[in-house]
Amino acid sequence: MSCLNPCNGFFKFIPSKILAFAKMYPDYFTTQEIWTLLGDIESFRHTISDDNFANLNVINDLASVMVETGTYSSSPSVYRVVKLALLLAVARSSSATVATVRKKIDVANREVRSLGQSCQKKVCLKKHRKPTN
């Protein structure tokens, strides 16, 4: 969600991308809320020139300052977009972690199976080996 990244004084702040992002989630933003978002974006554009928003680096900081300054209530639909972006970032991170863990478990299971097969072969060979006297 680079269009809301506060780094470099909101250098990449692009209202059309914010709207496009919101439209991707019709269960979260109705058509009416999209129109409201359009107005909130314009209001928010003026707000981010305030000194409180000057030295932010990540979207987490943006959410915090929006709450601290009350901007979350004057631009509620922008705040909803920020919250959604944060939620999706956590979900992506969590699913990546889950995928990594699953891969490691699969590798471990293959190794255990391979070890088990190897042990079975050794036991089988010992059983069928002719005793030498």
pLDDT single digits (tens) 26-39: 888 898 999 999 98
pLDDT single digits (tens) 50-64: 787 888 878 888 888
Q: How many CA atoms lie within 13 A of 60 on its CB side?
A: 2
Q: Do residues 25 and 84 lie in contact, with contact meaning Cβ atoms separated by under 8 Å?
A: yes
Burial (CB count within 10 angstroms: exposed 0-12, middle 13-18, buried 19+), residue 56 = buried
Q: What is the pTM of this model?
A: 0.63
pLDDT of res. 64? 86
pLDDT of res. 109? 57
d(Cα 117, Cα 39) in Å, to the nearest integer? Answer: 66
Checking if the pLDDT of 116 tops 80, the result is: no
